[in-house]
């Protein structure tokens, strides 16, 4: 069993949990993920590792409460235990040799972008971070990004915090100012990663994206997380989750990702009803 050491609400829909998992913390690297089950009969769900502390033996996860499984996870509190917490899975992000990088995060994807920015900073790389949210109320990890970034651009769709506009607006502005990036790392909604990749292709800048498609076993056996990259079939759980953004078929990924929305809605509603019953009892 894996004890929840701490729990913190980052915004009304996003929660941070620090989990006691010394074996995973001892091997985890930025870009990798875990698969959890909140309870014995819960759904298996992948979450990218947001941070880890090898000395404390803890792994930090940040999740958005969007479906039945994350709603169930959010009912657990400090001192409670997760039934399963498996990892680290996937390939670590490649960070060696990079001197100047733009890290672009969107929404809860910033939780995945932060540990990569942190590692790059610790390696002596100049990090320019661009993070975007719909509005001020959804902003997360601002202080953490400040600590590891030479330049930090905060963007909101409605202009309620930072600068008004999209992350692509800020990225293109930095490029036009003369910044020469070895690589751009984009993590967030698929549509955001698609447009970041289109922009960087125009400027011939290597771009890496972190893909998070439907995933079941996390070991390449089920084939649920397949993607088309450069005309070839890849599996995000074992070949990724990082891929060349100029080669990913984003339109196919978005279509596949929308296949289970109806089932997710049903699961969320069922979980809501169960939680209401538990409160009444």
Residue 128 and residue 218 in one domain:
yes
Q: Which long-range contacts (CB under 8 A, 24 or more apart) does 249-257 make?
A: 250/190, 250/191, 250/193, 250/194, 250/197, 251/194, 252/227, 252/228, 253/190, 253/211, 253/213, 253/227, 254/190, 254/191, 254/194, 256/213, 256/214, 257/190, 257/213, 257/214
For every residue of 79-143, DSSP letters joined together read: T-EESEEEEEESPPPP-TT-SEEEEEEEGGGHHHHHHHHHHHHHTT-EEEEEEEESSGGG---HH
Does 265 reside within a domain?
A: no
Does 268 reside within a domain?
A: no
Domain range for 151: 100-257
Residue 214 and residue 126 in one domain:
yes
pLDDT in tens, 114-138: 999 999 999 999 999 999 999 999 9
Residue 62 and residue 171 in one domain:
no
Does 276 reside within a domain?
A: no
**17: CATH:** 2.40.30.10
- Give the global pTM: 0.85
Number of domain units in the chain: 2
Residue 119 and residue 159 in one domain:
yes
Give dist(CA 127, CA 246) in Å, integer: 21
Does 264 reside within a domain?
A: no
Token pair 């404390």 in the structure block, residue: 56
What percent helix, strand, coil does the chain show, rounded to 5? 35, 30, 35
Calculate the average pLDDT of the chain. 89
* Angle, vertex CA 246, rays to CA 205 and CA 138, nearest 5: 85
- Residue with more model confidence, 71 or 171: 171
Does 269 reside within a domain?
A: no
Residue 121 and residue 235 in one domain:
yes
Does 271 reside within a domain?
A: no
Q: Using 50, 70 and 90 to split pLDDT, how confident is the model at 277?
A: low
Residue 146 and residue 253 in one domain:
yes
Does 263 reside within a domain?
A: no
**219: CATH:** 3.40.50.80
Residue 85 and residue 109 in one domain:
no
pLDDT in tens, 69-114: 888 999 999 999 999 999 999 999 998 899 999 999 999 999 989 9
DSSP, collapsed to helix, strand or coil, labels residue 159 as: coil
Residue 109 and residue 82 in one domain:
no
Residue 177 and residue 66 in one domain:
no
């Amino acid at each position: 069993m894996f004890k929840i050491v701490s729990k913190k609400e980052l915004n009304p829909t996003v929660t941070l949990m620090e989990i006691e998992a010394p074996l995973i913390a001892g091997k985890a690297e930025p870009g990798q993920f875990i698969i959890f089950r909140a309870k014995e009969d819960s759904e298996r769900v992948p979450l990218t590792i947001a941070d880890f502390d090898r000395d404390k033996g803890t792994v930090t996860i940040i999740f958005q409460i969007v479906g039945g499984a994350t709603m169930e996870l959010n009912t657990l509190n400090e001192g409670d235990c997760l039934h399963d917490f498996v990892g680290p899975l996937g390939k670590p992000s490649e960070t060696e040799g990079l001197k100047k990088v733009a890290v672009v995060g969107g929404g809860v994807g910033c939780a995945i972008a932060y540990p990569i920015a942190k590692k790059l900073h610790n390696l002596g790389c100049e990090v320019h971070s661009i993070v975007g949210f719909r509005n001020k109320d959804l902003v997360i990890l601002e202080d953490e990004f400040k600590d590891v970034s030479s330049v930090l651009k905060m963007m909101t769709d409605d202009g309620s915090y930072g600068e008004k506009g999209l992350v692509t607006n800020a990225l293109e502005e930095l490029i036009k100012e003369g910044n020469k990036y070895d690589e751009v790392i984009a993590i967030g909604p698929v549509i955001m990663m698609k447009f970041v990749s289109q922009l960087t292709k125009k400027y011939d800048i290597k771009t890496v994206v972190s893909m998070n498609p439907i995933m079941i076993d996390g070991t390449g056996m089920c084939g649920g997380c397949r993607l088309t990259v450069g005309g070839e079939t890849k599996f995000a759980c074992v070949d990724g989750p990082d891929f060349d953004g100029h080669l990913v078929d984003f339109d196919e990924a978005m279509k596949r990702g929308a296949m289970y929305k109806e089932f997710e809605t049903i699961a969320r509603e069922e979980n809501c009803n169960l939680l209401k019953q538990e409160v009444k009892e």
